[in-house]
Amino acid sequence: MSKIIAAILKVFLVIYFLSYLLLLPLFFIFKRKNKEGVVRVIFYYILYIICQEFLTFSASFIAPLRSLLIPLYSSNSVIEFSFFCAFYFLLFPRKHKIRTVTVIVWISFIIFSIGYFHLKGSHGSFTFGSFVVGIEALILMLLCGYYLYFQITHTLNLFVYRTFNFWIIVTFFLFVSSTFFLYLMADSMGKSPDYQKYYFFINSGANILKNLLIGFALTRKFVQAPEKDFTRPDDLDLGDDLILTREF
C-alpha cells in the first residue's frame, strides 16, 4: 500500500511541475505577438510564479536556504496581489472609476501588508501572514465578482466566456476561494503534521488547477471592454451573432 501511495504522489508531483512548465510554451505559441498590456502582465506573472516555485522548492530541500521559506510565502501575497491589480486596472476603459478604486485598494493593501509584517517582525514572530492572505483573498473575490457583473451589464458580447480576460478572472477567483481557509489557518496550524499533509495536497491541487486555467486562457482571444457605457433596450433582440466589442 505504501508503494502505491508513493507512486501516486510521484505522479501528482510530475503533474504539478508540468503544469508550470507548460505555461511559457503556451504563451509563446498563442500570445507571443500580442502587445496588449493586459496580456503582458500575465506573461510577467507566469515568469514570477515559475521563479517563485523554483525558489520555494529549492529552499525546502536545501538546508541553508530554508530561512527563505517564510519570506517567500509572505511576500507572495503582496506580489501576486500587485500583478492582479495591474491586470485588473488595464481591463477597464480608461475613464472608468474602478481604475481609481483599484489604485487606492492596491496602495492601501501594500501599506497594510508592510505594516503588518513589520509589526510581527518587531515582536520576533515573523509568520506566513494568514491575516494578510485572508484580506487579499476577500478583496480579489470582490473585484472578480465586480468584473463579471460589469461584463454582464456593460457589454453585448454574448461569448464573454470564450475570452482571455474572462478565464483569467475565473482563475484568480477559483484559486483564492479554494485556498482561502487553508491559508487562513497556516499561522495557527502550520506545525501540525495533519495540516501539513492537507496543505500539500490542497495547495498543490489548487495550483495545478490555476496553471491549467491560465494555460487555457492563453488560447483565448483578448476582448477589450467598450469605452462607453450603454443602456440595453428592453426590446433588443440579442441574436447569437451580435458582438459589439472589439476583438484582438
Assigned C-alpha cell, 53 = 516555485
pLDDT tens digits, one per residue of 210-242: 999 999 999 998 877 666 654 444 444 444 443
* Residue 232 is assigned to a structural domain of this protein: no
In the predicted model, what is the mean pLDDT of residues 63-79? 76
**What torsion do the CA atoms of 181, 187, 190, 194 make, to the nearest 10 degrees?**
-40
User: CA 166: distance to chain centroid?
Assistant: 13
Instruction: Tell me which of 79-88, 119-128, 136-145, 183-192 is least confident.
Output: 119-128
* Residue 234 is assigned to a structural domain of this protein: no
Q: Which comes out higher in pLDDT, residue 10 or 121?
A: 10
User: CA 51: distance to chain centroid?
Assistant: 15
How many Å apart are CA 54 and CA 116, to the nearest integer?
A: 26
Domain containing 50: what range?
2-224+243-247
Is 157:243 a contact under the CB 8 Å cutoff?
A: yes
pLDDT confidence tier of residue 136, bands split at 50, 70 and 90: very high
pLDDT confidence tier of residue 198, bands split at 50, 70 and 90: confident
Sequence-ordered list of residues with C-beta below 8 angstroms from that of 113, at least 6 positions apart, any chain: 77, 78, 129, 132
* Residue 235 is assigned to a structural domain of this protein: no
H helices of 22-96, in order, are: 23-30, 37-61, 69-91
Sequence-ordered list of residues with C-beta below 8 angstroms from that of 37, at least 6 positions apart, any chain: 90
What is the model's pLDDT at position 240?
Answer: 42
Backbone angles phi, psi at 190, to 5 degrees: -60, -25
Does residue 74 register a pLDDT over 80?
A: no
How many Å apart are CA 52 and CA 59, to the nearest integer?
A: 10
Total domains in the chain come to 1
Does residue 126 register a pLDDT over 60?
A: no
- Which secondary structure element, helix H or strand E, spans residue 243, and what is its range? none
What is the identity of the amino acid at 77?
S
Assigned C-alpha cell, 237 = 433582440
* Residue 237 is assigned to a structural domain of this protein: no
* Residue 68 is assigned to a structural domain of this protein: yes
Does residue 199 register a pLDDT over 50?
A: yes
What is the model's pLDDT at position 241?
Answer: 40
In the predicted model, what is the mean pLDDT of residues 43-52? 94
In the predicted model, what is the mean pLDDT of residues 149-170? 81
113: left (phi over 0), alpha (psi -120 to 50) or beta: alpha
* Residue 137 is assigned to a structural domain of this protein: yes
How many Å apart are CA 111 and CA 117, to the nearest integer?
A: 10
Mean pLDDT, the chain, rounded, equals 82
What value, to the nearest 5°, has the Cα angle with vertex 139 and ends 137 and 142? 110
Per DSSP (E only), the strands in 78-202 are none
* Residue 20 is assigned to a structural domain of this protein: yes
* Residue 230 is assigned to a structural domain of this protein: no
Instruction: Tell me which of 18-32, 121-135, 181-195, 221-235 is least confident.
Output: 221-235
